[in-house]
Chains A and B, each alone.
Chain A
Amino acid sequence: MKSLEELRQLRDKVEKEMKMRDESNRPEIIIGMGTCGIAAGAREILQAVLAELEKRDVDAKVTQTGCIGMCEREPLLDVKMPGKDRITYGNLKLNDVKRIITEHVINENIVQELAIARMDN
């Protein structure tokens, strides 16, 4: 180690992975993973979300939830930005994931056409 600067660069590099264990407020993406969700392709949606977050270097929590009763609309995905309402998107296709992450998670604009519900903060 030659300098404090070098240590900090190393820290920036390794810090990303530790963010997982940071419980502070970060954008949260919640995927419906009940039997209905999985049958409708929620696993693929989840993998697409992870890939997109990685590609765009976005810091967000990805969690799952069970069936919420709207099985007809699966796969379902919720986006919860810190301090904002939780928005549910339904009938998702794989290529919708990219749009939701760029527009909603990065630019903080709700994708109106795909949104099906809003839960109060």
Chain B
Amino acid sequence: MKDIIYRSHILICTGTGCTSSGAKKMRIALEDELAERNLNKEVKIIETGCHGFCEKGPIVVVYPEGVFYCEVKSEDIPELVEEHLLKGRIVERLLFKEPVTEENIPSYHDIQFYKKQERIVLSNCGKIDPENIDEYIALGGYEAVGKALSSMSQKDVIAEVKNSGLRGRGGGGFPTGLKWQFAHEAVSNKKYVICNADEGDPGAFMDRSLLEGDPHRVIEGMIIAGYAIGADEGYLYVRAEYPLAIKRLEKAISQAEDYGLLGDDLFSSGYNFKLHIKKGAGAFVCGEETALMASIEGKRGMPRPRPPYPANSGLWGKPTNINNVETYGNIPYIIKNGAEEYSKIGTENSKGTKVFALTGKINNTGLVEVPMGTTLREVIYDIGGGLGEGMKYKAVQTGGPSGGCITSEHLDLPIDYDSLLGVGAMMGSGGMVVMDDGTCMVDVARFFLNFTQSESCGKCTPCREGTKRMLEILERICEGEGEDGDIALLEDLAHHIKDTALCGLGQTAPNPVLSTLKYFRHEYEAHIFDHKCPAGVCKDLASAYLIDKETCVGCSICAKACPVDAITGTPKESYQIDDDICISCGVCASKCPVSAISQG
């Protein structure tokens, strides 16, 4: 029990996003300032996990008023302490300003970004100190495990999860309860549960933020899964590039052990459970469950054919249940509030909420949690604040390297597992990369294929060789060397790889190509037949830049800005670009004060 009851709590986000924008330095400044003004016995500083609004970090929330400050720097601290903590006046200039109305918004709940969200999995993120188990318990933490172990049978727990309609949040969408039932029914003297935290999709950071912001929730979900299937041991497979998540998980596990929430005879039920962390070395393929298990066993991370499925023969040949971080994060809520309550949220076949990581050409980069069935338009425009000024929506890429694009005609599609598959995309783990009309879709396909190609483990030929050939064709098209028949060849290869690759990585690798071909075939054709890149991205196809002699005022800014010295001329008269030297980078056009430079 703390001796001091503070009059104010200052919550500083120290998730990876806010830390990189200076949260730690600001925290030190705040500590010093509070000490200097003798407020350190009245005001408590708490480090929290991610609030999701990474765009506006570092984020500070002051309670009891619940005032939400954005982009707080160390220099702002003296004013914040003097005005808010001493005089009770809100520091207007640090409030969030709604981009459309330009209105200053003091409270969390009134910001558009949060208004439309429904936070179940992320409910504690940004609200509690993830390194203090007491704060998790104070908000009802570990009660679900207590309830399951003291009043529910293993079958009750499985039935509850089945009835909730929860589906795997790692991307596949397999019903979680059914997965647990298979592992439960497998007969063995030893079973395991694994949490897949090998989040690897470019632009995805949902799992990292949950582990950093509320690690106990995931641990609690794993204990319940372990009890349901009859496992006494679990592994969290976390990539080593997530040092903060690992540190907080280690701390959380040791705190849970101290409280007897991990260990032997939990809640006097005779049930024992222990947890280990396994750091992954950052191979994308280790997110595939059989490769992941091989990696835990100390072998090279390569997938193997299924069946047998992990539920029957998993880690060290024992029945194993593998779920994603976010899936486990849903479990405490389901057990505590019941399947019926949970299944009220979402659509008919996709229940609950989904966390998405919004990135790309969007105003509010960050983490959002919305009920299944929310439309893409709501996510991008109402929550995400739309695209940057002057940018036009082109597509959203979901599901990372395994997913596809959603174009403007599907903006009003309610998002769930099945609707996304219907338009040739997929839920994936929840990365959403927003693209504007300055994005070349052939280049996007090339980017993702380059990623999967480099991450291919090489075990099966379709993935190892097939993706390599596809990438070569795409590179050729981007360089202006595309030929008639390339598109058909790409499609042919894509279908073969999909049908014959050994694991999910290979089977889904062609998706970005197929999806961009479906919606943006004309861009491929423009590259191949017209030798033009409509978005002006592919350097070899971009039209040359030209200076309009009439408009040019001879200021020489362009010549100074040109990285390859392609611009020459006489000051105060006019300048010209040498096509042979120009690399079409566009820097001159962006610097010209009179807009005299354009692409011909």
Residue ranges of A at the interface with B (Cβ–Cβ < 8 Å)? 1-4, 7-8, 10-11, 13-18, 20-21, 23, 30-31, 33-34, 38, 46-47, 50, 53-54, 61-66
Task: Give A47's nearest chain B residue, CB to CB.
Answer: B42
Q: How far is the CA of A113 from the CA of B464 in the complex (A)?
A: 86
B146→A4 contact, CB < 8 A: yes
Q: Known contacts A11-B137, A18-B138, A50-B42; is A1 also within 8 Å of B5 by CB?
A: no
Q: Is the CB of B266 within 8 A of A17?
A: no
- In the complex, which residues of chain B have a beta carbon less than 8 angstroms from the beta carbon of A16? 5
- Chain A nearest CB: distance from B63 CB in Å? 5
A4 to B150, CA, bound (A): 7
A20–B109 alpha-carbon span in the complex (Å): 17
Give 8 closest A-B pairs by Cβ, nearest first. Answer: A64-B88, A4-B146, A61-B64, A14-B134, A18-B138, A65-B88, A1-B260, A62-B7
Contact assessment for B86 and A64 in the assembled complex, using a CB-CB cutoff below 8 Å? yes
In the complex, how many angstroms separate the beta carbon of A7 from the nearest chain B beta carbon?
5
**Number of B residues whose C-beta is below 8 Å from A?**
38
User: Counting chain A CB atoms within 10 Å of each CB, which of B1, B7, B139, B150 scores highest?
Assistant: B7
Residues of chain B within 8 A (CB-CB) of A3 are: 146, 150, 267-268
Give the one of A11, A31, A53 with max B CB within 10 A.
A11
Closest to B1 in A: A13
Per-residue A-contact encoding for B133-147, CB less than 8 Å = 1, 0 else: 011011110110011
Residues in chain A near residue B120, CB distance under 8 A: none
Contact assessment for A53 and B1 in the assembled complex, using a CB-CB cutoff below 8 Å? no
Residues on B with C-beta less than 8 A from A46 are: 7, 42
Considering the chains assembled together, what is the distance between the CA atoms of A103 and B445 in angstroms?
A: 71
User: Shortest distance in angstroms between A1's beta carbon and chain B's nearest beta carbon?
Assistant: 4
Distance to closest chain A CB from B68 (angstroms): 11
Whether A14 pairs with B88 at a CB distance below 8 angstroms is no
From B5, B6, B134, name the one whose CB has the most chain A CB atoms within 10 angstroms.
Answer: B5
Considering the complex, give the chain A residue whose CB is closest to the CB of B147: A4
Least distance between B21 CB and chain A CB atoms (Å): 23
**B9 x A64 contact (CB < 8 A):** no
8 A-B pairs with C-beta separation under 8 A: A4-B143, A7-B137, A7-B142, A16-B5, A17-B6, A33-B86, A34-B87, A53-B5
Contacts of A38 in B (CB 8 A): 86
Q: How far is the CA of A17 from the CA of B89 in the complex (A)?
A: 24
Check if B143 sits within 8 Å of A7, measured CB to CB: yes
Residues on A with beta carbons closer than 8 Å to the beta carbon of B2:
17
**A7, A15, A46, A66: residue with the most chain B Cβ atoms closer than 10 Å:** A7
In the complex, the answer to whether B5 meets A54 with C-beta atoms within 8 Å is yes
Main secondary structure of the interface of B (DSSP, over half): loop
In contact, A11 and B85 (Cβ under 8 angstroms): no
Q: Which residues of B contact A4 (CB under 8 A)?
A: 143, 146-147, 150, 267
Complex formed: what's the CA distance from A50 to B8 in Å?
Answer: 11
Residues of B within 8 A of A50 (CB): 5, 7, 42
Contact of B138 among A11, A30, A31, A63 (CB under 8 A): A11
Query: Known contacts A11-B137, A14-B134: does B150 contact A30 (CB below 8 Å)?
Result: no
Q: Across the interface, do A63 and B88 meet the contact criterion of CB distance under 8 Å?
A: yes
Of all chain B residues, the one with the shortest Cβ separation from A12 is B138
Q: Smallest CB-CB separation from A4: which chain B residue?
A: B146
Residues of A within 8 A of B266 (CB): 1
Instruction: Give residues of chain B (362-391) contacting chain A, Cβ–Cβ below 8 Å.
Output: none
Instruction: Give the chain A neighbours of B88 by CB distance below 8 A.
Output: 30-31, 33, 63-66
Q: How far is the CA of A2 from the CA of B340 in the complex (A)?
A: 29
Q: How distant is the Cα of A2 from the Cα of B267 in the complex, in angstroms?
A: 4
User: Does A66 contact B261, Cβ atoms closer than 8 Å?
Assistant: no
> Contact mask B295-315 → A, CB, 8 Å, 1/0?
000000000000000000000
Whether A11 contacts B5 by the Cβ 8 Å rule is: no
Chain B residues in 8 Å Cβ range of A2? 260, 267-268
**A17 with B5: CB separation less than 8 A:** yes
Q: Counting CB contacts under 8 A, is B127 at the interface? A: yes
User: At the interface, yes or no: B65 with Cβ under 8 Å from chain A?
Assistant: yes
> Chain B 110-135 against A: per-residue CB contact (8 Å), 1 yes, 0 no?
00000000000000000110000011
In the assembled complex, how far is the CB of residue B383 from the closest CB belonging to chain A, in whole angstroms? 21
> For the complex, what is the distance from the CA of A15 to the CA of B42, rounded to whole Å?
18
Q: Could you say which residues of chain A place their CB within 8 Å of the CB of B78?
A: none
Which residue of chain B has the shortest Cβ distance to A51 in the bound complex? B5
Closest Cβ neighbor of B137 among chain A residues: A11
Within 8 A of A (CB), among B3-47: 5-9, 11, 42
User: Which A residues are CB-close (under 8 A) to B66?
Assistant: 21, 23
Q: Mark B256-271, 1 if CB is under 8 A from A, else 0.
A: 0001110000111000
Contact call A1/B259, Cβ cutoff below 8 A: yes
How far apart are the CA atoms of A74 and B11 in the complex, in Å?
31
- Cβ contact within 8 Å between B5 and A10: no
Instruction: Specify which of B6, B63, B140 is in contact with A11 (CB 8 Å cutoff).
Output: B140
CA distance A72 to B46 in the complex (A): 38
Contact B142 A18 (CB under 8 A): no
Say yes or no: B135 contacts A18, CB within 8 Å. yes
* Contact between chains at B63 and A21 (CB < 8 Å): yes
Smallest Cβ distance from A95 to chain B, in angstroms? 20
In the complex, residue of chain A having the shortest beta-carbon distance to the beta carbon of B139: A18
